[in-house]
């Protein structure tokens, strides 16, 4: 049987929660995500669809995409 251990939640500051919240990653393509997150550095799309901060022609599964997500999450 699996053991589930508690963990600390990560929550945005209440003053920017509306800027952090984003649609699920699978309901939009990269172009739409770029447009939605444009000018909003707090958008979770910069983590969830981190390819939006890289070259438009990058392979969605390129290691750079995952590294960018990690960078933005920290």
Please give the structure tokens belonging to residue 6.
């508690």
Instruction: Tell me phi and psi for residue 28, to 5 degrees.
Output: -150, 155
Q: Residue 15, Cα to own-chain centre: how many angstroms?
A: 19
Are 39 and 65 in contact by the 8 Å Cβ rule? The answer is no
Query: pLDDT digit string (tens) for 51-73?
Result: 999 999 999 999 999 999 999 99
Can you give the pLDDT at residue 74?
86
Q: What is the DSSP code (8-state) at residue 11?
A: -
pTM assigned to the model: 0.84
- What residues does each domain of the chain span? 17-73
């Amino acid at each position: 049987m699996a053991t589930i251990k508690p963990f600390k939640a990560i929550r945005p500051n209440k003053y920017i929660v509306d800027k952090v919240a984003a649609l699920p990653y699978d309901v939009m393509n990269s172009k739409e995500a770029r447009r939605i997150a444009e000018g909003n550095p707090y958008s979770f799309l910069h983590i969830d669809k981190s390819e939006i901060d890289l070259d438009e022609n990058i392979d969605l599964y390129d290691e750079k995409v995952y590294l960018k997500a990690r960078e933005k999450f920290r």
